[in-house]
Amino acid sequence: MEVLSFYVGVIGNIISVLMFLSPVETFWQIIKRQSTEEFESLPYICTLLNSSLWTYYGILKPGELLVATVNGFGIIVETIYVILFLIYAPKRSRAKIAILVGILDVGFLAAAVLVTRLALQEEARIDAIGFLGAVLNFMMYSSPLAAMRTVVRSKSVEYMPFFLSFFLFLNGGTWAFYALLVRDYLLLAPNGCGFLLGAAQLVLYLIYRKANPRKNISADTLEQGSQHEHLISSSSLSRENNEE
């Protein structure tokens, strides 16, 4: 069982890296068009925060270098995505993006580091950072709901990229299976959610990929259903090492 869980964890690591890279095609289009169009920056800002928390977690906990390395890679990728939003977003949106980055990726992260270092002992500090990351994972795994609603209303999958949905499905399923193997039900909850939502997105993609989109959908609706990137369940990486 330990050997099986180890290999499932390795596969999960590979899929996590692919998930970080899955929006590359979207951002290439943004660069070519020099516009972010209706794509939303918040998921990438939150993913940057999540990667930062798990990198800190991996640094804090002995033997968790893999966690720090994978999420350190995520920090680099997500920072590039956020910078591209700051460059190519409409002028009226850039201030909003900058404020969100300052509040979440700088302010909240700094507060989490300072509070846990000053108020908590070593084990409690590690658990607190891990808990914050797990909660954020769960919240971000729920983010496709708005995109799914827009697909149904607009009959268009334009703002729900296939590969993002596909890797959400794979990532959630792999780590949910891993969680079952090691009987980690806290880990199972957000990844099971991600697996089910990824499956639902793939079903919608199959239904609407050749449908004629509605032309009169409002900009507000598109904004609600813009692309969402999902967090990597890095907590599963640390659980893997504990099982070894």
Here the tokens at position 59 are 């640094």
Q: Which of 55-69, 87-101, 113-127, 224-238 has the lowest mean pLDDT?
A: 224-238
Nearest partner of 232 among 168, 189, 142, judged by Cα: 168
pLDDT at 87: 94
The band of 78, judged by pLDDT with boundaries at 50, 70 and 90, is very high
Here the tokens at position 53 are 């928390």
**Interatomic CA distance for residues 131 and 139, integer angstroms:** 12
For 118-163, how does the pLDDT look when each residue is reduced to its tens digit (9 = 90+)? Answer: 988 888 888 888 788 888 877 777 666 767 787 888 887 776 778 7
User: pTM of whole model > 0.85?
Assistant: no
Biggest CA–CA distance in the chain, Å, is 58
pLDDT at 108: 94
Residue tagged 């504990």 (tokens)? 242
Q: Which of 86-100, 120-134, 208-222 has the lowest mean pLDDT?
A: 208-222
For 24-62, how does the pLDDT look when each residue is reduced to its tens digit (9 = 90+)? Answer: 988 999 999 999 887 888 889 988 998 898 889 878 877
Integer CA distances (angstroms), 38 to 35, 122, 152, 197, 202, in order: 9, 43, 17, 22, 21
pLDDT at 235: 44
pLDDT at 101: 95
Nearest partner of 78 among 46, 30, 34, 106, judged by Cα: 46
Cβ–Cβ under 8 Å, residues 186 and 178: no
- The larger pLDDT score, comparing residue 95 to residue 6, is at 95
Kindly give the interhelix angle for 122-141 and 185-208, rounded to the nearest 10 degrees.
20
